[in-house]
Amino acid sequence: MSPHRPTVRVFPAPSGLTSPRWPRAGAEDGVALQWTSTLSVGDEAIDAQHRELFVRVDRLHDAMLRRERAEALRLLAFLRDYAVDHFEAEERLMAETGYPEAAHHAREHEAFRAALRGLQDHFEERGLTAALVLDLERRVVGWLREHVYHSDVALGRWTRRERAPAPAGPG
């Protein structure tokens, strides 16, 4: 796979996990998430940030599965900073366009920041455990998929409508 392909693979939770690695689920039972133009929010900067988030979360997942502790910590720190900047950009867009769901959307952002903080704390206290990888899959990969597919795409529909030229009135 090209390292630039913006894909987040979602893996089913392994049962009775005894090894830090388990077979990669692949496409047969994992749910592939790929950034496509249908996920565009109508703002080039935000779309680029989503692609970057997908790529980095995917790399973090790989680094954890490969037990690359330093790389995983580096990516986690990057993602925490990047998420702050990204969410601020979306929250500015919501404020500029008077988005009615802004408060709910911002609470979802806070949940993601809390999930990343929780992962980093877990990592620093207990190391790279299987539970940490499961948490990443459920709380970070799962969140990203749901939030971009639903909340960010809804925001995109709104901003496109708000930015569209007003129809000419009668007369």
CB of 171 to Fe ion, least distance (A): 40
Q: What does DSSP assign to residue 141?
A: I
Query: 57 vs 132, which CB is nearer to Fe ion?
Result: 57
At residue 107, the 3 state secondary structure works out as helix
Half-sphere exposure at residue 74, Cβ-oriented, CA atoms within 13 angstroms: 8
Residue 43 vs 90, nearer CB to Fe ion: 90
Count of residues in the chain = 171
For Fe ion, the closer of residues 49 and 59 by Cβ is 49
Contact 99, 155 (CB under 8 A): yes
- We find the least distance from the C-beta atom of residue 83 to Fe ion, in angstroms, to be 9
Least CB distance from residue 9 to Fe ion, whole Å?
19
State the minimum distance, in angstroms, from the CB of residue 18 to Fe ion. 36
- Residue with the shortest CB distance to Fe ion: 152
Q: How far is the CB of 42 from Fe ion (least distance, A)?
A: 12
Q: Contact positions toward Fe ion, by CB under 5 A?
A: 90, 152
- Of the candidates 135, 136, 134, the one whose C-alpha atom is nearest the C-alpha of residue 17 is 134
**Contact partners, residue 95, CB within 8 Å, separation at least 6:** 102
Question: Coil, strand or helix: which one is 40?
Answer: coil
Q: Which amino acid is at 24?
A: R
Q: Which is nearer to Fe ion, 123 or 158 (CB)?
A: 158
Tokens encoding 35 = 């950034």
Residue 58 or 90: which CB sits closer to Fe ion? 90
**Could you identify the residue written with the tokens 């720190």?**
77
